[in-house]
Structure 1
Amino acid sequence: MSDWLIYRGAGAPHDGIEHLPPPPPWRDFDGGPLVAPPAALDPASERRLGVQRREASHHRPGETERELVNAALYLRRPLLVTGAPGSGKSTLAHSVAYELGLGRVLGWPVVSRSTLRDGLYAYDAIGRLQDLQIARATPPRAAADSDASAPGGDTEDSDPADEPGGGIGRYIRLGPLGTALLPAARPRVLLVDELDKSDIDLPNDLLNVLEEGEFRIPELERLAGSAPEVRVLSDDGGRVTVRDGRVRCRAFPFIVLTSNGERDFPAPLLRRCIHLHIPVPDKERLAAMVRAHFGDGAAERYEAVIDRFLDREPGEVRAVDQLFNAIHLTQKAGWTDEDEEETRRRLTAELMRPLDRTR
């Protein structure tokens, strides 16, 4: 295997990210202050990769996938991944995070109502106003007693007015994209799932953020003179420092934008991305996926089900999830008698019915 590959697609964790060369000068960012590393792999990645019961070594992306993932890492560019539903587009983000030790995958599932602001941050102005009104209505003696009863007398639950910016940081929570752009020593992994489901404006709205690697929070910018540093909530659930109302990355995140091909994207977005198309999995790759989730020997044991999944008319669409559902039901139902064979065949056919055919 070539030495230039940081992500090897072998499914075994390693420290290859430490050997990632410096970014191109036009993709070199200098955000700060640095935030703490993220939490380790979460259950979402374990479910996707099958590592709860087995190692992720069975998820073996092809040569083109490995090369383009590494191109995105080297160039600090988002990876636009297209392909049919269930072809493994989202799994690729989890595979990279697992192998390179980049922690929890930040997920942003896009819907038709999603806006750029949803991905960056949310500000609960109503909640802040209500809390300030309650604080003003609380008698001073009751407030003092409450403070005195707190351990140490000065905690994060003290009067919001005593915090920088009047406690506004309590009401700002960074979204998945905003958290991915926090200044970190290592890149975060962000999965922007099904971008083609978005409103027509969202792909264009993303352009500046993806190019500049930063965004501003106007509510904090207005307070920069009196409160240059404010601690806000991140998508990970912890509190991080935002300086001068601006979030600017240090290591550009590894961003995977997935699309089922339901729409075309504007040329400016395509220019800023590395494009990877994942073909429909062949029998060999499906067998590897089945082994990852159902154990050694499962691909051979359920070969007939895999063949039935692959037996389709031109243009028919099936998702790999349908194959997993059929195998799991077959495995747990324990259909072994000849009398039950017809039940197995009928339910397998129903579970793997082409997605573009209702009946």
Structure 2
Amino acid sequence: MRFDGTDAYVATDDLTMAVNAAITLERPLLVKGEPGTGKTELARQVAGALNLPMIEWNIKSTTRAQQGLYEYDAVSRLRDSQLGDERVHDVANYIKKGKLWQAFSAKEKTVLLIDEIDKADIEFPNDLLQELDRMEFHVYETGETVRAETRPIVIITSNNEKELPDAFLRRCFFHYIRFPDPETLRAIVRVHFPDIKDQLLTVALTQFFELRDQPGLKKKPSTSEVLDWLKLLLAEDLSPEDLKRDSASALPKLHGALLKNEQDVHLFERLAFMARRDR
């Protein structure tokens, strides 16, 4: 079982090596990187390339680790007991299986995505240490132990919003997705827009990297944002000549797809003002 990338996802050599190392070691793959660099999409592409079903657990700030295992609905059981419902005699009727339970009990190998783990409370990763390490957990209400018959491929993503505990990191294979270099980004664009003209792509990517490398930028645009921008350029049927910047602001055409806060917009407006003043 080996991942070599797909036609729809440009995976660098070090990324494919990381995926395959995690599969061989049977350890979770922890993928970090800027938002929009394809971390979540990686899990989907791995599942597609290996022809495996995928279970996706999207983490929020309110998500608890226990929800990934199971939840016991005591309120519904109490209500049913008051109504004389026969279901109340079997506590299993009130156990809701979580995403880890679904992955552990699957009859075939699955890809389990734990997406944006850094959104949750700092104790969230620690609460899953033993379950992800041993691939089993105990259900106290029923007395059963849920054990993975076939270990899933676990891919965990993080946007680096907070540090993860060392004990959790020791149990993972780690990979950081760096922002793609110009040639890799060009290849990514070609996957999404195979008919884009070379001259337009060259001019657009030159402007994009100039914007991204501007000192003082609060939020650098990501891969997903440059793809959105190019989609707009193609929809508007703009030519390379049309991409000439407005001298009043130094902002690229349709910059709202790239710059997502007013501070960065004002930064380029100030740069344009200073350039005009120094002429």
TM category, shorter:
0.7 to 0.9
**2:268 counterpart residue number:** none
Percentage of matched positions with identical amino acids: 33
Candidates 211, 228, 232, aligned match of 1:325: 228
Candidates 66, 75, 98, aligned match of 1:175: 98
Note the C-alpha offset of 1:255: 1.1
Is 1:350 the counterpart of 2:253? The answer is: no
Candidates 6, 21, 42, aligned match of 2:2: 6
**Residues 213 and 249 in structure 1, CA contact (< 8 A), matched pair in contact too:** yes
Is 1:219 the counterpart of 2:141? The answer is: yes
Q: 1:356 to 1:247 in 2, by over 3 A?
A: farther
Instruction: Report 1:45-84 matches (<5 A).
Output: 57-84=7-34
**Residues 203 and 240 in structure 2, CA contact (< 8 A), matched pair in contact too:** no
Structure 2: how far apart are the matches of 1:96 and 1:76?
Answer: 15
One-letter amino acid of the counterpart of residue 196, structure 2? A
Tell me which of the two structures has the higher relative contact order, counting C-alpha pairs closer than 8 angstroms and 6 or more residues apart.
Answer: 1
Structure 1: how far apart are the matches of 2:64 and 2:203?
Answer: 45
Q: 1:355 to 1:269 in 2, by over 3 A?
A: farther
SS of residue paired to 1:256: strand
One-letter amino acid of the counterpart of residue 4, structure 2? R
**Residues 288 and 299 in structure 1, CA contact (< 8 A), matched pair in contact too:** no
Candidates 145, 151, 162, aligned match of 1:252: 151
Structure 1: how far apart are the matches of 2:197 and 2:70?
Answer: 44
One-letter amino acid of the counterpart of residue 95, structure 1? Q
SS of residue paired to 1:199: coil
Q: 1:8 to 1:274 in 2, by over 3 A?
A: same
Q: 1:208 to 1:356 in 2, by over 3 A?
A: farther
Q: 1:355 to 1:271 in 2, by over 3 A?
A: farther
**Residues 112 and 155 in structure 2, CA contact (< 8 A), matched pair in contact too:** yes
One-letter amino acid of the counterpart of residue 123, structure 1? Y
Note the C-alpha offset of 1:338: 7.8
Structure 1: how far apart are the matches of 2:173 and 2:261?
Answer: 29
Structure 2: how far apart are the matches of 1:338 and 1:282?
Answer: 24
Structure 2 residues without counterparts, runs of 5 or longer: 266-279
**Residues 204 and 243 in structure 2, CA contact (< 8 A), matched pair in contact too:** no
**1:289 counterpart residue number:** 188
Could you tell me the TM-score, scaled by structure 2's length?
A: 0.80
Instruction: Report 1:121-200 matches (<5 A).
Output: 121-136=70-85, 160=87, 166=90, 168-186=91-109, 188-200=110-122
Q: 1:324 to 1:133 in 2, by over 3 A?
A: farther
| CA RMSD in angstroms, aligned pairs only | 2.9
Could you tell me the TM-score, scaled by structure 1's length?
A: 0.63
One-letter amino acid of the counterpart of residue 282, structure 1? D
**1:106 counterpart residue number:** 55
